[in-house]
Amino acid sequence: MAGELISVRTKFVDRVTKAVIKQLLDDILEDGIINDGEKESIAEENPTRADQARALIDTVKKKGDNASWKFIAHIKRRDGALYSEVGLSSGQPAPSAAPALAAEPRTKMQRSDNTFAKDQAADKDEAIYPVTKYSSSNRVALLISNIEFTNEKFNRNGADKDEMNMEKLLSDLGYEVVKHTNLTAKAIDDAVIRFSKHRKLKETDSVLVVLMSHGKLGAVLGVETSGDDDKFPINNIYKHLGSEKCPELLDKPKIIIIQACRGEERGSVIVSDGANVLCDDVKQPSPPLPADDDIEEDVLRCVHREKDFISLLSSTPDTVSYRHKEEGSFLIQFIAEIFPQYALADDIEELFRKVMQRFEGLPFRNIRQMPTKDRCTLTKRFYFFPGS
């Protein structure tokens, strides 16, 4: 990827504007690719636009492939014409490593920008959910995370990292985040009802709802749970946001992500000794696992009755899901890894498939978990950034 920057260096220097240089500097500073001193050096020690452009692309190139890919993604977002004129491509991003789990090598390239543009031009009305600059500016998401419980032994260590990762991702995707932490089941239900009446729903192109807690089959648990009580039925999401109760979301994608167990079974036979892998099924003790596997387990089942829903559940029916006690759940780690890399090119179903694919190579001997795309009723493809 750094090599691609070398090959387009001259065209980039010739064509990039000073305004875009300033935006790109802000972007890579926020990403941590450069620091304040490097930004000031590029902007202030180079008197001409061309000199600033050379210093910018040369600095990023030296930071390696991952930095180069992020830089190219910013060029694409900031100036699509420049991106095309200099001959850049989405390419294959360098796999980022989640702190607890090294990413596997990518086996499939992103779709090319030209292919995506042709797809949209041909199918814009029939096959792709409409997204406009105005509708994307009115996006809103609901984020509910239960971390601390009345009974402290049920506290979800590492879930604060999940909350932080999802809030950042939702914001980066252009959603205003309505966030709640540590709710009872009734409070979760009330929060979803209030969200169904949010002022932005009439204008938005989509909504995202993220629930993270302990779980049972068909339910997410509230913070006052002692085992089987304080349960929020998953199906209430579809009832409250469906066509009858929430007509403002008619024909708009409603994307549901749920991090919680869906039962008490495990995806594999676990025989080991250690207690750093924990589970989000409150009836079940933490499984004994190798001491270096700092992981916890996260029971739900939902049934779609309405159109334009898609959900990603953290495990298959009747099984537990896992959470690292410091870095958060596998599902949220992988979503936070995959979405920034591919959301410019892929639709939501393909993004979910890529997340599921990441679970095929879990580097832990006795842990098996497979997320599930549950009963998708999307009738078109939904892209967060169509035409990008």
Report the 10 Å Cβ neighbour count for 232: 28
- 188: nearest Cα among 238, 231, 147: 231
Contact at 8 Å (CB) between 258 and 300? yes
What three-state secondary structure class fits 276?
A: coil
Task: Identify whether 324 is a catalytic site residue.
Answer: no
Contact at 8 Å (CB) between 353 and 372? no
List the structure tokens of 94.
């360098």
Q: Quick one: CA torsion of 212, 332, 321, 156, rounded to 10 degrees?
A: -50
Which entry of 180, 240, 261, 324 is annotated as an active-site residue?
A: 261
List the structure tokens of 165.
């990762």
List the strands of the sheet with 176-181, edge to edge: 176-181, 140-145, 207-212, 254-259, 309-313, 372-374
Specify the DSSP class assigned to residue 196.
T
Which entry of 74, 198, 214, 304 is annotated as an active-site residue?
A: 214
**Strand partners for 277:** 324
Specify the DSSP class assigned to residue 201.
T
Q: At what angle do helices 65-78 and 18-30 cross, to 10 degrees?
A: 130
Contact at 8 Å (CB) between 40 and 46? no
| Residues designated catalytic | 214, 261
